[in-house]
Structure 1
Amino acid sequence: MENIWYPFKHDPKEAYQAHFHKILATSKAVQIIHQYKDYGCKIGAMVHMTPIYARSTEIRDVQAAYYADLFHVRMYLDPYLKGEFPTEFIDELKKHDCMFNYYDGDLENIQNNQIDVLGVDYYFPIRVKARESEFDKSAFHPEYYYETWVMPERKFNSDRGWEIYEEAIIDIGMRIKNDYGNIPWFVSENGIGIEGENRFRNKYGRIDDDYRIEFLKEHLKNTLRVKEMGSNCFGYLVWSFVDNLSARNAFKNRYGLLELDLETYERRPKKSLYWFKQITDAGEIE
């Protein structure tokens, strides 16, 4: 839907049709895999479950957060985990003339084939406020109902501009527990991208990425904490093991525990890799 992604156009009707097909395709994959349940086969999906926070408790801000959550979170979680799209979501698509098309049996397929496990990609929260300016896009976008809000006292990654809010892991886990049947879930992506990591290279040639260690430590602590609170979380994966290619920014921002030299293709451990090995070997975070 965003014109920053290939094919670089803003067409909400086509975008929501693609979203629907992704959810339908997942349900068909679940249907196939569940034939082998007796063999222990399970199937899941990964989502960018970004928590939505309202600027204030004022009713217009809360309403803005409601709609942001409807389009960014419930659009996927409800069909994946409850087998149906939110009624309000369908009403909004019809209202704005971007309702997806479907065949007889498609919605029943989604209803009858829900995933067994959920992967959550989390990097930053979304904070919103009620619109204070006129919506100026020519076609519908969820921002019709809200504007993004930057919390002044936030922690943030200055290279990406993203807020750092590790406590969101708690909110994610408790929502899965309380609203979605406490399905087994895991953190499928979590990490911090930094541009120009050469500035953190020590005299021995290693990148001392203490900022990454701090980021991962705090998010992992909250993952363990929400598990102790009864949320059915069973794992945590770092994004990423090695510096990787981004669809938008190539190798501009580095996420890896392992450095990739683009000229020699050499892989070199960063400080964070040694730290991560230490805590996994010990089975605890200091």
Structure 2
Amino acid sequence: VVHALPTKYPYDPSNPGDVRAAELEDIIHNKFILDATYLGRYSQKTMEGVNHILSVNGGKLDLREEDFEMLEAAKDLNDFLGINYYMSDWMREFDGESEITHNSTGAKGGSKYQLKGVGRREFDVDVPRTDWDWMIYPQGLYDQMMRVKNDYPNYKKIYVTENGLGYKDEFVDGTVKDDARIDYVKKHLEIISDAITAGVNVKGYFIWSLMDVFSWSNGYEKRYGLFYVDFETQERYPKKSAYWYKKLAETQIIE
């Protein structure tokens, strides 16, 4: 099974409202699926948060006995957990209506995310972010993997199934000098190494992506590839990161 698991933090850890917002956002994106996958049930704390969100928004959840029978039967059958990780989020308490503005053009600062009964994402934090307002925070991957190890010890093993940097690549003289992408991947691999040292059973890493591809939410402008694609001619050109990653794969040494 593969889950996208963005880590959530309170904007102000000393503010109980921010802590609560981070907990509720974490339930929506992470605990609700991890509990079902590995516990075969929902923890009391998870269900308390889910029921709060439903009550505030006038929703309901149809949970049936046979659903939990299947979850219980399946909880130890996963061969591995695949984690797609690109970013973390910082949450503030929020009392208002839901509003989400997706930054699909790469205009930094164009994102807005606030959920009624949950909280609001704070983008102005002391953390690097992409033009698409995705927070670059490798520590979040470490924290997420440690959470899996500690809270779901029947996970068996982990693969990082997606990780990479979406960027407005500048194609100059037949290539892209994408040092920012190299730095992004390097720091995430270093944090994965730290997690392995801490006892997490990580068995592999898959970069996103081999070449630039079409994005359903960003079209052709946001590029992730190790290879630059001219979408008019379909020609492929190795970026600086392609040579760096090739050497890394051959030597397994992070430089």
1:225 and 2:194 aligned:
yes
* Aligned residue number for residue 151 of structure 2: 179
3-state SS of the aligned residue for 1:165?
coil
Q: Within 5 Å, give how 1:1-286 maps onto structure 2.
A: 45-56=1-12, 57-85=14-42, 86-92=46-52, 95=55, 96-101=57-62, 105-114=66-75, 115-131=78-94, 133-135=95-97, 142-157=115-130, 159-181=131-153, 183=155, 184-195=157-168, 197=169, 199-201=170-172, 203=173, 205-286=174-255
Q: Which amino acid aligns with 1:113?
A: A
Give the number of the structure whose residues are more often helix, by fraction. Answer: 1
Residues 53 and 118, structure 2, Cα contact 8 Å, conserved in 1:
no
Distance 1:273 1:190 in 2: 15
Distance 2:239 2:65 in 1: 53
| TM-fit CA distance, 1:89 | 4.6
Residues 169 and 226, structure 1, Cα contact 8 Å, conserved in 2:
no
| TM-fit CA distance, 1:161 | 1.9
What is the identity percentage for the equivalent residue pairs of Structure 1 and Structure 2? Answer: 30
**1:233-254, Cα deviation, whole Å (9 max, x unpaired):** 1111101111111111121100
Q: Which amino acid aligns with 2:29?
A: H
| TM-fit CA distance, 1:119 | 0.8
The list of structure 1 runs, each at least 4 consecutive aligned residues, that deviate by more than 4 angstroms after superposition, is none
Residues 93 and 99, structure 1, Cα contact 8 Å, conserved in 2:
no
Distance 1:73 1:148 in 2: 16
Residues 48 and 120, structure 1, Cα contact 8 Å, conserved in 2:
yes
Residues 51 and 69, structure 1, Cα contact 8 Å, conserved in 2:
yes
3-state SS of the aligned residue for 1:194?
coil
Residues 190 and 237, structure 1, Cα contact 8 Å, conserved in 2:
yes
The 1:97–1:182 alpha-carbon spacing in structure 2 relative to 1, beyond 3 Å, is same
Q: Which amino acid aligns with 1:126?
A: D
Q: TM-score under structure 2 normalisation?
A: 0.84
| TM-fit CA distance, 1:135 | 2.5
Gaps of 5+ in 1: 1-44
Matched residue count: 233
Residues 53 and 65, structure 1, Cα contact 8 Å, conserved in 2:
yes
Q: Which amino acid aligns with 2:152?
A: Y
Bigger mean CA deviation after superposition, 242-251 or 99-108: 99-108
The 1:93–1:66 alpha-carbon spacing in structure 2 relative to 1, beyond 3 Å, is closer
**1:86-120, Cα deviation, whole Å (9 max, x unpaired):** 33255336524423435552221112112331111
Distance 1:143 1:49 in 2: 21
Q: Which amino acid aligns with 2:148?
A: I
- CA-based RMSD of the aligned residues comes to 1.9
Distance 1:118 1:107 in 2: 20
Gaps of 5+ in 2: 100-113
3-state SS of the aligned residue for 2:187?
helix
